[in-house]
Every structure is written in structure tokens, then in C-alpha cells.
Amino acid sequence: MKKLFLFVLLSFAAFQGAEAKKTQKLPKVDNIIYMIGDGMGLCHVSMLQIEGKYAPTSFDRAHNVALIKSYSTNNRVTDSAAAGTALATGFKTDNGTLGMTPDGEIVESIIAKASKSGFATGLVATCYLQHATPAAFYAHVKSRNESNKISFDFMESGIDVAFGGGRKIFEKAYKESGKNYVDLLKAEGYEVLFDQKEMDGVASGKVIGLFAEENLPTLKEGRGDYLARATEKALEILTADVRADKKKGFVMMVEGSQIDYRSHANDLEGMLAEMRDFDAAIKVAMDYADAHPNTLVVVCADHETSGLAIPSNKTDFTLPESGINYSFGTSSHTGVMLPVYLYGAGAETIKGIMENSELSVALQRLIKVAE
């Protein structure tokens, strides 16, 4: 009898706890800056810290941290399409699929839901805008290789600000129909930019910057501080649009796209340069959050690339300095868990170990667009 009473008591307490969690008042979050380091694992961040002689990085500013599992529904090692879909929509899917479940059901991203709910929206990337991660926030295709359909989906997305590459892919998509993609974008209300310098002359309104035929140049090729500048400009435009159009706030995704490319190539110097570039963009976002208190910055990755490890050069740790080495386990993706760094409003609500899809659901709840 005592055991039965104790079981009932514990069950009731658990039920009460769950109900309290459901009804717990969420902090006010108006803006989410969702930053994804493509291919970035914990060792990438550690390398950034080590090579900076442990001077504080933007990652060190985080108010909270969590871990996410990255596997897809059909593979223990995800690709960017499946991981991007999970992070964008809250649904896991098969590798190669964007914005759809494995059985073909269309699922909406946090950006699509936010737009319908009265938020402004934005995308910034160093790759072409039809690439897997940015496309996960607006496209619905069975295969990430359906570039024409992805371009058409962008045209239907209503995203307010988008900076990246992809001119050649837009041209290809509309060439067969005899339509001019620039005219179509202008008909959708976009100011269309082709030179990064043109960003300086834009302060509000719908804007798309197509700054390369496909991907933007690497840092070695002269990309410069584009990612930080584009992030800052997108935030300026979205903020102006929120004020002018009385939007609820905004949701913006920023991708450090080419961390992944340099990691696939096992290019240590290139990886470090891309990490420093991403760190500079994170600083812009966190500084914005400091000036706009209802803003949450979320920094994470879709998967880890290269199996980077940082072993000691010696096994005798009684010596004062052993030295380190950077070694690669693969030129592909890996299946490790990934860090999430949270800064600003609501950072304390996301913690622990979770699925990558659960992170998206948590963010959707914070801005009250979860279904």
C-alpha cells in the first residue's frame, strides 16, 4: 500500500512539474540571429582559441551552451541538407532532402513561419543562396540538387533581405522559360545588388545581393570582411523595416559557409581564416544584441567536417610544454555532437543535450510561431 501511495505521489509530482514547464512564462524575444558554422565542430572553436593565444573570442561571450545530435533519419552522419532542414524546421529528414520529411510532407522553416506571423526575415551566406543550408530555410525539394526548383522557391519565399552568391543559378533556372530573373526579383519588390559596395547605399526595404556567380571568393581570393559587413548591413535593414512596417521583430540566418569547404580540403590555414571570419560576424551579432535587449543570438553547426583533433606532441605531461599538432581523421563529415552557443534574451532557456531538430522547436516557441 505504501509503495502504491509513493508511486501515485511521484507520478502526480512529475505531472505537476511537466505542466508547470508547459505554462512557464517565456522571456520576451523579438529577434533571433541564427548563426550556423557549416562543418564547425568543437575542435574548430578550440583551434580558434589556441591560435589566438586564448584571447577572448566571441564564442567565449556565450551566456549559455548546449549540445545537439546531428544524425539524419537515414544516416548516422548527416549532410548539410538534412541538418539544415532540422535546424530550420524542427523536423529531421533524409540526407539530401530540403524542407520535407522523408515521406514527402512539406515542412515550414522558422523563417517561413516568422514571416507569416509578422516578422521580417533575412539570410546571409558566403556560398550561393541556393546551397543546402540557406535553402533549408525556404525550399522544399526531395534533392538538394534541384537547383531550378530551389531558385523558384526563393522567389516565392518573401524573404526580406538576402546576401550571398548565386547569379548563375538564378540565370539557369529562368533561361528555359525566357524570363529574366532580375526583372522577376524586382517585380517581387527587391532592390537587386551585384557589387558589395552597393550595400552602403541601402538602408531599408526588400534587398537581395548576388555578389558572385556561385560561391563568393575564399578569404585568400579577396573576400575580405564581407561576412561581418553583410551581417551588419542586414541587421540595419531589418531593424529599419521592423520600425517602419511595425513588424514584431525579425529572424535572420547567417552562415559561415566556407568553414566546411576548407575542412573538406583539410586546409588548416583556410579553416582558421574562415573561423576568424565567422567569429567577426558573431561579434557583430552579439554587439547588436547588447544594443537591442530582446535579441537572441544562437551559434551552432550543421555537422562537423574533417574529424579535426588537437593531440599533444608528447606523452610525458611532467614536462612544461608538450606542443600540439592538428590532425585530420577524414576529408568528409563526422557524426559527433555539436556545440551551441547562446547569447542574449532567452539564452538560459536552451540547455542540455538535444536533437538538432529540438533546437529549432525551442527557438520557434520563444518567438511564438511553433505549431
Q: Note whether 303 and 40 are within 8 A (CB).
A: no
Q: Note whether 83 and 131 are within 8 A (CB).
A: no
Q: Dihedral (C-alpha) 36, 37, 43, 48: value to the nearest 10 degrees? A: -120
Q: Which of 80, 151, 306, 360 is catalytic?
A: 80
**The length of the chain, given as a count of residues:** 371
Cα–Cα distance measured from residue 232 to residue 356, given in angstroms and rounded to the nearest whole number: 27
Q: Closest by alpha carbon to 39, among 318, 334, 244, 239?
A: 334
Q: What is the CA radius of gyration of the chain?
A: 21
Helix (H, G, I), strand (E, B) or coil at 361: helix
Report how many helices (DSSP H) and strands (DSSP E) the chain contains, helices first: 12, 12
Q: Note whether 124 and 253 are within 8 A (CB).
A: yes
User: CB-based contacts of 140: which residues, under 8 Å, 6+ apart?
Assistant: 98, 99, 100, 106, 107, 153
Q: Is there a catalytic annotation at residue 46?
A: no
Q: Note whether 202 and 229 are within 8 A (CB).
A: no
Cα–Cα distance measured from residue 168 to residue 212, given in angstroms and rounded to the nearest whole number: 8
Query: To which residue does cell 573561423 refer?
Result: 275
Helix (H, G, I), strand (E, B) or coil at 200: helix
User: How many CA atoms does the CB half-sphere of 85 hold within 13 Å?
Assistant: 29
Query: To which residue does cell 553547426 refer?
Result: 301
Distance between start and end Cα atoms, the chain: 42
Q: Which residues are catalytic?
A: 80
